[in-house]
Amino acid sequence: MGELIYQFDSYVKEFNAKVVKTVGEGVVLDRTAFHPRSGGVANDLGVLVKAGSTYEVIDVVFSDYGVLHVIKGGASELMEGDIVKGIIDWGRRYRLMRLHTAAHIISAIFYRDYNALITGGNILPEYAYDDYSLEVFDRAIFDDVVRKANEVVRSGVDVKIYWLSREEALKIPGVVKLASKMPPNVDSLRIVEIVGIDVQADGGPHVRNVSEIGEIVLINAENKGRKRKRLYYTVRP
């Protein structure tokens, strides 16, 4: 696995890297700021540039070889050893960051106030949804959670990123808020802490301060079945 730049600095928009492998329609780089789809968060898009030629990145996924950048029209013109410049579609990425951090705030409030875990979810640039293990569907609960989440946003607390040993991390109450999934079996876990609000093991990009989220807007709430009470939301502006 090459260096995952976004895990250390989610604000890197451009970077230089070397092609270490071509796989089908895509390439694996020795380092990347492109976030592959993972944890329910959509992948980045953007371009790779080599010697004045531009290659559109239309998908980013984890593969057996590392992060695979799928190139529109194929990667036949990119060779192992090539030096490329990666450029992230920042507008898309920043929306995903804001929604992702909002999702952490919301899940922390569901966990704290309603003892509910996440049972599913998806984050796209336009909107996000999460399913929660609530036994009873009550629209008032969703209104309450979003109201409290916006209070957190207005508080302007920082978002910290650091690593802990797996053993130490798993001692933190609520560090995993997914009902059916544990973090990968690695020695250390990346921790995202919203100061005073939430601590979660997480590998994706986030904003540095919750004030960057703007406003969390409840779009809809639905009863999708037992322990699948769904909240749809977005952020603005």
pLDDT at 185 over 90: no
106, 134: one domain: yes
113, 220: one domain: yes
pLDDT digits (tens, 9 = 90+) for 38-55: 989 999 999 999 998 999
The residue segments making up the domain with residue 142 are 93-236
111, 133: one domain: yes
**Which parts of the chain fold into alpha helices (H)?**
5-8, 90-114, 139-155, 166-169
63, 129: one domain: no
Question: What pLDDT score was predicted for residue 232?
Answer: 98
The residue out of 44, 61, 88 marking a domain boundary is 88
105, 150: one domain: yes
Question: What pLDDT score was predicted for residue 179?
Answer: 78
Mean pLDDT score of the chain: 96
Question: What pTM value is reported for the model?
Answer: 0.96
98, 215: one domain: yes
pLDDT digits (tens, 9 = 90+) for 113-144: 999 999 999 999 999 999 999 999 999 999 99
Question: What pLDDT score was predicted for residue 104?
Answer: 98
If one counts the domains in the chain, the total is: 2
CATH number assigned to the domain comprising residue 25: 2.40.30.130
Question: What pLDDT score was predicted for residue 141?
Answer: 98
Q: Which two tokens stand for residue 52?
A: 């004045």
Question: What pLDDT score was predicted for residue 184?
Answer: 74
163-191: average pLDDT: 88
pLDDT digits (tens, 9 = 90+) for 71-126: 999 999 999 999 999 999 999 999 999 999 999 999 999 999 999 999 999 999 99
